[in-house]
Amino acid sequence: MRGAYHFGRPDLGNSPESEADWFWSVVGGSLEPGDLIALDLESGSGSLAGWTARFLARLKERAGFNPLLYASPNFLATRGINFRNVGGDYGLWEADWVATEPAPAAGWPVLAIWQNGSAGTLAGIAGRVDGDVFNGDRATLLKYGKPGAYGASSGSVTPPAPTPAPKPAPTPAPAPVPSSPAASSPVGQDELPTPPKAPNGGSMASSDPTPVVTTPDVPEPGVVAEAGVSTSEWKLALGYLAQAFALGTADAANAVSEAVFHQSVSIPAPLLQALVNVEFAAAFVVASYVISRGVRKLGTK
């Protein structure tokens, strides 16, 4: 993490915009995410609030993020500069060489950086250096700098394309249920919702084949279903349906339909179709019709 500051010279008669543009032309191309920029005000007399506000606004426009303002409390007070008249949007880097951390000067609500002296030492640098303390943690300090992921390259890097995961082998589809004459079907084929939904609410993927659904004949009282469906399997299907009705939520119905799949039982196709699609109304019609025809009297295989 680095920083660059501009030593402002309003005393030379330069416009704040020209100085901001010149500063940005020098450092703008080399900044990386997290780097700081600042206006250092130590020169000039009279009221400098307008000059300061214009410089900071122009630099923010060029950089795309807020610069800091470096100054001493005395300079801010004697030049008529305060938090509000410079825009109320810039962090204060306060130079105040006192023993304890001071309150923010000139109406600033927060002190971003406190410069507490000029006689510090730092490994790798000969002579004395200024001492500065940031008011916060590292993550907060980075927020004052150029936006972006800290440590990332400032250039444009295209990541390599990910290697696609191998497709799983498709699961064999279950054997189709034999179909009987359509006239005896309790629910017409055009009434069954298609295609069926997966238990999680999405569409069935090709790797998770949809069960083959036909429209079987409804068994007459006392006669075993031609599709080989036993009384216990009918009761199991109706039990799942009853649980879904009792819970009364889409999540419960999804869980019921998933349980039906994992049980791999030969549940009558119209009722299975209705359960898979969480179509309670269609399932209820099928169940009511079956019960009324005396399915409970069926023998078992």
Task: Kindly report the CATH number assigned to the domain that includes residue 40.
Answer: 3.20.20.80
31 pLDDT exceeds 60? yes
Residues 45 and 104 in one domain: yes
Position 232 pLDDT exceeds 70: no
Does residue 100 carry a pLDDT above 60? Answer: yes
Residues 123 and 10 placed together within one structural domain of the fold: yes
Locate 63 and state its tokens. Answer: 């950089």
pLDDT band at 99 (very low <50, low <70, confident <90, very high): very high
- Tell me whether residue 167 is in a domain: no
Q: What is the mean pLDDT of residues 247-270?
A: 53
Residues 205 and 127 in one domain: no
In a domain, 170, yes or no: no
State how far Cα 108 lies from the chain centre.
34
In the predicted model, what is the mean pLDDT of residues 44-56? 98
Do 136 and 203 belong together in one domain?
no
In a domain, 174, yes or no: no
Longest dimension (CA), the chain: 108
Burial of 283 (0-12, 13-18, 19+ CB in 10 A): buried
Q: Are residues 65 and 191 in the same domain?
A: no
pTM of the model: 0.51
* 208 in the same domain as 94: no
Final residue in a domain of this structure, among 143, 170, 203: 143
Q: Is residue 173 part of a domain?
A: no
Q: List the domain range (segments joined by +) for residue 192.
A: 182-297
Residue type, 190: D
The per-residue pLDDT for 61 is: 97
In a domain, 150, yes or no: no
Mean pLDDT of the chain: 72
Residues 24, 122 share a domain: yes
Quick one: tokens of 173? Answer: 């589809």
Is 93 within 8 Å of 115 (Cβ atoms)?
yes
Assess if residue 222 is contained within a domain.
Answer: yes
Give the least confident one: 9-18, 56-65, 241-250. Answer: 241-250
Per-residue model confidence (pLDDT) at position 295 = 40
Q: Which residue has the higher pLDDT, 250 or 11?
A: 11
Same domain, 119 and 204: no
The total domain count for the chain is 2
Cα 239 to Cα 75: distance, rounded to the nearest angstrom: 83
d(CA 77, CA 80): 5
The verdict on residue 66 lying in a domain is: yes
| Whether residues 116 and 21 fall in one domain | yes
Min mean pLDDT across 66-80, 144-158, 183-197 is at: 183-197
Confidence check: pLDDT of 55 > 90: yes
Measured distance CA(197)–CA(189) in Å, rounded? 17
92 and 193 share one domain: no
Last residue of a domain, one of 91, 126, 143: 143
**Is 100 in the same domain as 206?**
no
**Residue 186 pLDDT:** 42
Of 87, 120, 143, the one marking the end of a domain is 143
Examine residue 155 and state whether it is found in any structural domain, yes or no: no
161-213 residue pLDDT tens: 444 555 666 776 666 655 544 433 343 433 433 333 434 443 333 334 433 33
139/190 same-domain check: no
